[in-house]
């Protein structure tokens, strides 16, 4: 089944300034899912480069008890225009045990280009300017942009295109709508959700394919409740722990 282009994005944002969401990060260790860390997401509105903008930030880290096995200290940040959600600037700082990298992306909406700067361990610094086109986001902004889709307008199996900046290139990708499914978190809460599988190209972190599954709440927030994904080092899972300052009531919660 081919990709069908749809106008299924809502004009309003399903999140508000001050939203703060905490997830437990689980790693598959010898067929056992072990909570090895946490990931915290936050959305705020700020004045950035003389314009009102969204400041999106995600910080992921392993617990100190697991640092000897594999330590993670990652920070993702994105600034997007408040009205259009066009990307302005984004960065990604990744510290995985002895592997470190810094990615910086400066977007020029007028030319449709993005300036890329990358530093990775002892490799020479990388700098390039590439054509990005409209509606191009980094990984973090893509995650928030997914929440704007009206999943009720999609049919099971439908592929929905999106464009994302992956490391040093722009790729036209898709997610596949898989229908509705209930999800129970580790703290006993259960939610009605929309389930999608996300196609990604191989990069510094992910393998290529539909190896990422996301469950969004079946309410106006479209908050991710669970994310399962294959990474180059194994399998990881993120489960909702604590949502704060949601824009709408979590009416999808069953118990």
pLDDT, residue 134, reads 81
- Between strands 136-137 and 159-166, the pairing is parallel
| pLDDT confidence of residue 207 | 65
Task: Give SS3 for 153.
Answer: helix
Q: What pLDDT shows up at residue 181? A: 97
Residues whose CB is less than 8 angstroms from the CB of residue 235 and which lie 6 or more positions away in sequence, other chains included:
27, 28, 228, 229
For 108-141, how does the pLDDT look when each residue is reduced to its tens digit (9 = 90+)?
Answer: 988 999 999 999 888 899 999 999 988 899 999 9
Pair 232, 222: CB distance under 8 Å: no
User: Between the CA of residue 132 and those of 158, 172, 185, 214, what are the distances in Å?
Assistant: 25, 10, 37, 25
83: burial class by Cβ within 10 Å (0-12, 13-18, 19+)? exposed
pLDDT at 4: 44
Encoding tokens for residue 225? 């409740």
Q: CB burial class (10 A; 0-12, 13-18, 19+) of residue 130? A: middle
| pLDDT recorded at residue 122 | 81
What's residue 192's pLDDT?
98
3-state secondary structure of 83: coil
Q: What is the pLDDT of residue 29?
A: 57
- With 0.85 as the threshold, say if the pTM is over it: yes
> What are the DSSP calls for 60-75, one per residue?
EEE-GGGTTT--EEEE
Q: Which residues of the chain have pLDDT under 70?
A: 1-11, 28-34, 66-70, 202-207, 231-234
| Alpha-carbon separation of residue 120 from 42, 49, 130, 162, 223 (angstroms) | 26, 27, 19, 27, 32
What pLDDT shows up at residue 226? 95
pLDDT of residue 8: 57
pLDDT at 9: 64
């Amino acid at each position: 089944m081919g990709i069908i282009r749809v106008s299924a994005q809502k004009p309003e944002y399903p999140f508000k300034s001050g939203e703060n969401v905490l997830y437990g990060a689980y790693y598959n260790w010898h067929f056992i899912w072990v909570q090895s860390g946490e990931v915290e997401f936050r959305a705020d509105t700020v004045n950035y480069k003389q314009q009102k903008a969204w400041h999106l930030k995600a910080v992921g880290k392993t617990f100190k008890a697991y640092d000897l096995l594999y330590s993670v200290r990652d920070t993702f940040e994105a600034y997007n225009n408040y009205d259009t959600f066009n990307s302005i600037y984004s960065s990604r700082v990744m510290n995985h045990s002895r592997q470190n990298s810094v990615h910086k992306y400066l977007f020029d909406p007028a030319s449709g280009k993005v300036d890329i700067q990358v530093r990775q361990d002892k490799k020479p610094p990388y700098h390039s300017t590439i054509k990005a086109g409209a509606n191009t986001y980094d990984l973090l902004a893509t995650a928030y942009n997914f929440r704007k889709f009206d999943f009720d307008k999609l049919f099971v199996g439908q592929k929905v295109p999106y464009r994302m900046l992956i490391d040093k290139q722009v790729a036209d990708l898709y997610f596949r709508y898989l229908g509705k499914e209930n999800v129970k978190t580790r703290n006993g809460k259960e939610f009605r959700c929309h389930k999608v599988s996300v196609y990604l190209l191989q990069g510094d972190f992910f393998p290529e394919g539909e190896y990422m599954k996301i469950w969004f709440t079946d309410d106006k927030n479209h908050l991710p409740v669970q994310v399962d994904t294959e990474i180059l080092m194994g399998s990881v899972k993120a489960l909702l722990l604590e949502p704060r300052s949601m824009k709408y009531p979590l009416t999808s919660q069953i118990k």
